[in-house]
Amino acid sequence: MDALVHHLTESYKDLVVHPVRADFTRQLRLPEVDGIVMANSLHFVKEKMAVLARLVHLLRHGGRLIVVEYNTIRGNSAVPYPLGDQGFLDLAAQVCLHEAHIASRVPSSFLGEMYAGVALA
């Protein structure tokens, strides 16, 4: 994680990064944040709405949630609780996020495709 923080702060001089090692499925005690990136993480969570609702409260008004996931609805041992693109859009609406959309899609050798979804608090 140190190398990532170093790279980010060298590349973006005005960026302030506070890395936290924590279980995002539990209550996090953090100040408001500008953004949350969840890459290949929500497919391990069965109760996505409850977890995401807690995380959304950490976002400042206008803050962004970015989710990167496999675009599938069929789970397996590596992706037990998948979140396809439409599932992301539906979930974003359920937790009161706005302007949810799929920003990008890329082919994946595992499960065919990945997407990046973005929504605003």
Tell the CATH superfamily of the 28-120 domain. Vaccinia Virus protein VP39 (3.40.50.150)
Ordered by start, the domain boundaries in the chain are 28-120
Query: What mean pLDDT comes out for the span 96-121?
Result: 97
Q: Looking up tokens 């977890």, which residue turns up?
A: 51
**Global pTM value:** 0.88
Q: What one-character-per-residue DSSP string does the chain give?
A: -HHHHHHHHHH-TT---------TTS------EEEEEEES-GGG-S-HHHHHHHHHTTEEEEEEEEEEEES-S---SSSSS---HHHHHHHHHHTT-EEEEEEEEEEETTTEEEEEEEEE-
Looking at residue 16, its pLDDT comes to: 81
Helix axes 85-94, 48-56, angle to 10 degrees: 60
Count of all residues that appear for the chain in the document: 121
- The 10s digit of each residue's pLDDT in 81-108 is 999 999 999 999 999 999 999 999 999 9
Confidence of residue 20 (pLDDT cuts 50, 70, 90): confident
- pLDDT of residue 19 exceeding 90, the answer is no
